[in-house]
Amino acid sequence: MFRGSITALITPFKKGKVDEKAFQDFAEWQIEEGSHGLVPCGTTGESPTLSHAEHHRVVELCVEVAKGRISVIAGTGSNSTEEAIELTRHAKVAGADAALVVTPYYNKPSQEGLVLHYLAIANAVDIPIIIYNIPGRCVVDMSVETMAKLAGHANIVGVKDATNDLTRPQKMRQLVGENFCQLSGEDGTAMAFLAQGGVGSISVTANVAPRLCAQLQDSWHLGTYEDAFRIRDILSPLHEAMFVETNPGPAKFAASLLGKCDPDTRLPLSPLKIKSKARIEEAMRAAGLLN
């Protein structure tokens, strides 16, 4: 259903407001560069600091640009089940192809609580739902057994796995088969994830290297592994640079070096340190992204 390089889009700001033109131009550039899908309003899109009106608008802007050419997977998660349902309903009305729903943060629900949360959303909105499992940000970790249970629901179609546990894709395939869409949430191990049974990646690095990230995925799926290995090695330092400080600060600064947007983030994220900026610029030059 979903595969390849799917960009976890940044949300450009200008003078504290969403820069709608920069966002749409950026989304169009992603499509032109070969990205296979777009995720507005994920973590990289600073969804925790977007108002509901801004969240809705960013999803609408993304769908408007995509025009069905590539998939739009709207971030609609929340630690409030009712809020997640509302955001997911809006994504469907706006024309998104799927919803990316993060595990509830801060609440620390049990595995049973996770099941009830996702079933409530899946029963309320008829749209494909991708579970976003990222224990490093949410504290809670959805087990493979819990995920397999949820995979039985017709609307729960896949996972963005940011656990960095490369045994999980294989375990999930054994439990639910090949049709459950497994996407990596860790750029540094995206190709290893493919080797373990994944079908793509929801990528931060693709914000600044969309063509290379798409080519890596295409090369793997076509079986041209030498090309995939070569691109993997080019991208490796860039993956590290994108997390030299808290995401999406580095990605936004890198995009600003490409002239795509201002580097501004919203508090509580702080401006990048000078040494972080230098490391990001160095990695971009090494990858051939800057002259």
- In this predicted structure, what is the pLDDT of residue 1? 80
- In this predicted structure, what is the pLDDT of residue 218? 98
User: Which 8-state DSSP code applies to residue 47?
Assistant: G
- In this predicted structure, what is the pLDDT of residue 40? 98
Active-site annotation holder among 149, 160, 252, 260: 160
| Model confidence pTM above 0.95 | yes
Domain ranges of the chain: 4-221
- In this predicted structure, what is the pLDDT of residue 74? 98
Domain 4-221 belongs to what topology?
A: TIM Barrel (3.20.20)
- In this predicted structure, what is the pLDDT of residue 116? 98
Q: For residue 211, what is the enclosing H or E element?
A: helix 210-222
- In this predicted structure, what is the pLDDT of residue 121? 98
Report the alpha-carbon distance of residue 48 to residue 63 in Å, rounded. Answer: 20
Give yes or no: 105 in active site.
no
Give yes or no: 160 in active site.
yes
CA separation, residue 87 to residues 97, 118, 125, 166, 271 (Å): 14, 13, 10, 31, 29
Active-site annotation holder among 132, 149, 252, 277: 132
**Segments of the chain with pLDDT less than 50:** none
